[in-house]
Amino acid sequence: MSSASTQLITSRKMGIYDPFQQVSMWEDPFKGDISPNTGASTILQVDAGLPNKSEFNSHELTGPSRNDEEGNNTADKVRRRLAQNREAARKSRLRKKAYVQQLETSRLKLAQLELELEKARKQGVYVGSALDTSHLGFSGNVNSGIAAFEMEYAHWVEEQNRQIFELRNALQAHVTEIELRMLVESGLNHYHNLFRMKADAAKADVFYLMSGVWRTTTERFFLWIGGFRPSELLNVLRPQLEPLTDQQVLSVCNLRQSSQQAEDALSLGMEKLQQSLAHSIGAESVLAGNYGSQMAAAMEKLEALEGFVNQADHLRQQTLQQMSRILTTHQAARGLLALGEYFHRLRALSSLWAARPREPE
């Protein structure tokens, strides 16, 4: 009698593929592709007297394979990383929304202030600002455009102080690259807003802007065409950015040199404008009786001042943008923090100087 059972050997390949694909966030891809794994062959022994047992799944008989566990662990890691990225993005959106709301509130307050100042001007009275701006050296100008600039600049300083605090905490907490990049872009946009505000103020009264009365006394000591010299700021920031690569050192030196050349050209243009203005006013005798034509010619020359202020601010803005391209995200964050701290200390120095003890006369 032949044997009652026979031995059947089957070999089946098992594959595992994780469905997670690339996820893009703010143009920074997080690649989570997982290569397919192949399982080992499974050998089943089937009793000839028990038909259809070969239909049983080999995975159910042998239990989860090692590749199954590795695939699941990798998938869990990807899920956790994606969840962390989504949470970081959510927090960044909330911060940005709060900042936009704050700007909108400030805009409404400024619009209301302009209406009140215009009404007061027509009535011939002066309405003092409720904001204490003595530490900023504000003039209390009744010109609606200048008064609006002073209020807006006060809010700008408050926002800069908040950004300094946030940057310092982010660097100490070692936040993600995405969060740090968001803070850097916000800081650069904040300076861009200052240049926009100054352009509007220059249209209202360019002499007021160039005099620097809207800044503290110590800041005025470094004033150059309504602001700071970009080359001087680079010298201040350079030690705070170390260590720099050889290529970064070369790029920063070239940027400082080109900024210095542009500053010299603008300074020379301002000097020639002053000489031309003095010549047009005082060259001819006061007895000639052409006072009106002299003043008209002088007014035409003074219109060029607004262009000089805008060019100087454009140079400052371009220097900041070029530095952000040269530096890494972490270095750019440190640079913005150092720049904000520098301005803050200048304002603090003005307050200390004004409050210094004086000997009685």
Pair (111, 195) in one structural domain: no
Is the per-residue pLDDT at 33 higher than 70?
no
Q: Are residues 117 and 153 in the same domain?
A: no
The angle, 0 to 180 degrees and rounded to 10, between the axes of the packed helices 304-326 and 177-211 is: 160
**Does residue 40 lie within any of the structural domains?**
no
In a domain, 344, yes or no: yes
Torsion on CA atoms 346, 350, 352, 353, rounded to nearest 10 = 130
**Dihedral sign, Cα of residue 344, residue 346, residue 350, residue 352:** positive
Residue 246 domain flag: yes
Cα–Cα distance between 294 and 34 in angstroms, integer? 79
Distances (CA, A) of 338 to 67, 236, 254, 275: 51, 9, 21, 38
For the chain, the C-alpha Rg in angstroms (whole number) is 34
pTM, to two decimals = 0.60
Q: How many domains does the chain have?
A: 2
Per-residue pLDDT at 79: 85
pLDDT score at 242? 86
| Mean residue pLDDT across the chain | 76
In a domain, 17, yes or no: no
What pLDDT score does 291 carry? 65
Q: What is the pLDDT of residues 89-142, one digit of tens each?
A: 888 788 777 777 777 676 676 666 666 666 655 554 333 333 344 445 555 555
- For the record, the structure tokens of 108 come out as 């409404």
Residues 180 and 275 in one domain: yes
- Mark whether 308 and 346 lie in a shared domain: yes
CA angle 30/36/38 to nearest 5° reads: 155
Alpha-carbon distances of 71 from 22, 39, 62, 343, rounded to whole Å: 17, 11, 17, 53
Residues 92 and 163 placed together within one structural domain of the fold: no
Neighbouring C-alpha atoms within 13 Å toward the C-beta of 344: 16
Q: Which of 92, 127, 162 is the last residue of a domain?
A: 127
pLDDT confidence tier of residue 76, bands split at 50, 70 and 90: confident
Predicted pLDDT at 24: 40
3-state DSSP helix/strand/coil % of the chain, to nearest 5 = 70, 5, 25
Do 217 and 349 have their domain in common?
A: yes
Tell me, yes or no, whether 267 lies in a domain.
yes
Res 137: pLDDT: 53
**The domain containing residue 93 runs over which residues?**
77-127
* 340 and 204 in a common domain: yes
Residues 98 and 161 in one domain: no
The token pair that represents 151 in the structure block: 């209020």
101-to-94, 96, 107, 213 alpha-carbon distances in Å: 11, 9, 10, 29
Say whether both 123 and 148 belong to one domain: no
Q: Are residues 166 and 221 in the same domain?
A: yes
pLDDT in tens, 274-303: 888 888 777 655 555 566 777 777 788 888
- The SS3 assignment for 139 reads coil
- CA–CA gap between residue 320 and residue 189 (Å, rounded): 10
